[in-house]
């Protein structure tokens, strides 16, 4: 019987529904068990201006717990120069607000499978990852890169959790300097907004031209606060003026008397004008 001419596609990339490419992962070269990673190009329009560019970011699913950010970076560095690696418990957007905390101040990470975002320097690296043969596994633990597990990993984590007081003081000082800098920038921004939205005595706002490309902001927080404060003062004066019923009644009487006085003055003025008018036929 002649051998079959049909060839298996194990030496090619393995695709699954959803646009994911399956990569084979092996803990060490002497283990037979393999793990599967699911990767595809990260394309989210909402994150166009974030640290995950659409054409250079690789989205990775099913990352095992023994793979840290450093291990993932070394695994994918064979496809190109890596700019950054980020591991999360579940997919999500980038949160860059506020100063970044050191790892010693962060809550302990959950132990489990992770999702990752690998940002390359070049867009061609994404194609190289997606075309990687499925039967060629990525080896995690090698002679050059030792990955500890079990008790050895716990000992390493405990040792890394201990920090010298000098190093801790340096981290705290750096954090406080960053915090003070951000606070000064925020105060300067609020001061500039207050100057641009400054009102005169009659309530007019001076509108100035901002830098090119800046979005118009018709109202600022400071201007809104001043408007509310002015309305509260007017309401308070009105309440104090007509607090009692007899005060309100007297105010109405004075207003009516003033109107009658003006009416009588107008009548006298009209009568005087009529008396001074002369008939001049020629």
CA torsion, points 161, 164, 167, 168, in degrees to nearest 10? 70
The 10s digit of each residue's pLDDT in 250-278 is 888 888 999 999 999 999 988 888 888 76
Report pLDDT for 8. Answer: 42
**Confidence grade of residue 46 (pLDDT, cut at 50, 70, 90):** low
Does the structure show a pLDDT above 80 at 20?
A: yes
Residue 66 contacts residue 91 (beta carbons within 8 Å): no
Report pLDDT for 10. Answer: 52
In percent, the amount of the chain with pLDDT more than 90 equals 16
The average confidence (pLDDT) of the chain is 78
- Non-local (6+) Cβ contacts of 200 within 8 A are 206
Does the structure show a pLDDT above 60 at 215?
A: no
Q: Which of 78-82, 141-145, 244-248 has the lowest mean pLDDT?
A: 244-248
Report pLDDT for 277. Answer: 75
Report pLDDT for 210. Answer: 53
Report pLDDT for 1. Answer: 40
Residue closest to 35 by CA, chosen among 140, 146, 129, 119: 140
Average pLDDT of the segment spanning 82-106: 74
In percent, the amount of the chain with pLDDT more than 70 equals 73
Residue 25 contacts residue 34 (beta carbons within 8 Å): yes
**Confidence grade of residue 102 (pLDDT, cut at 50, 70, 90):** low
Helix (H) or strand (E) holding 72: helix 69-76
Average pLDDT of the segment spanning 33-53: 79
> Tokens for 146?
């030792």
> Tokens for 47?
């994150």
Average pLDDT of the segment spanning 212-218: 51
Report pLDDT for 207. Answer: 58
**Confidence grade of residue 153 (pLDDT, cut at 50, 70, 90):** confident
Does the structure show a pLDDT above 70 at 170?
A: yes
**Confidence grade of residue 206 (pLDDT, cut at 50, 70, 90):** low
Compute the distance between CA of residue 75 and CA of residue 25 in angstroms, rounded to an integer: 10
pTM exceeds 0.85 for this model:
no
Does the structure show a pLDDT above 70 at 157?
A: yes
> Tokens for 15?
């695709």
Write down the CATH number for the domain with range 14-146.
3.30.70.330
Does the structure show a pLDDT above 90 at 65?
A: no
The 10s digit of each residue's pLDDT in 107-145 is 666 778 889 999 999 989 999 998 888 888 888 888 878
């Amino acid at each position: 019987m002649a051998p079959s001419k049909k060839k298996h596609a194990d030496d090619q990339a393995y695709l699954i529904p959803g646009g994911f490419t399956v990569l084979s992962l092996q803990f060490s070269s002497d283990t037979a068990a393999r793990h599967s990673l699911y990767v595809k190009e990260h394309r989210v329009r909402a994150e166009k201006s974030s640290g995950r560019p659409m054409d250079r970011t690789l989205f990775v699913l099913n990352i095992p717990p023994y793979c840290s950010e450093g291990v993932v970076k070394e695994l994918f560095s064979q496809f190109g120069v890596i700019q950054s690696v980020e591991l999360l418990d579940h997919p999500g957007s980038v949160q860059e607000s506020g100063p970044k905390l050191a790892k010693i101040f962060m809550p302990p990470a959950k132990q489990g499978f992770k999702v990752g975002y690998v940002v390359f320097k070049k867009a061609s690296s994404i194609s190289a990852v997606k075309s990687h043969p499925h039967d060629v596994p990525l080896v995690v633990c090698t002679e050059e890169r030792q990955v500890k597990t079990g008790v050895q990993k716990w000992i390493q984590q405990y040792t890394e959790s201990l920090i010298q007081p000098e190093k801790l003081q340096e981290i705290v000082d750096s954090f406080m300097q960053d915090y003070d800098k951000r606070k000064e920038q925020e105060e300067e921004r609020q001061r500039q907004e207050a100057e641009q939205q400054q009102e005169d005595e009659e309530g007019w706002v001076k509108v100035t031209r901002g830098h090119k490309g800046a979005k118009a902001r018709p109202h600022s927080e400071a201007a809104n606060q001043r408007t509310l404060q002015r309305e509260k003062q007017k309401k308070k004066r009105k309440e104090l003026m007509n607090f009692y019923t007899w005060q309100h009644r007297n105010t109405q009487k004075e207003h009516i008397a003033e109107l009658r006085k003006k009416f009588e003055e107008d009548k006298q003025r009209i009568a005087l004008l009529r008396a001074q008018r002369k008939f001049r036929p020629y």
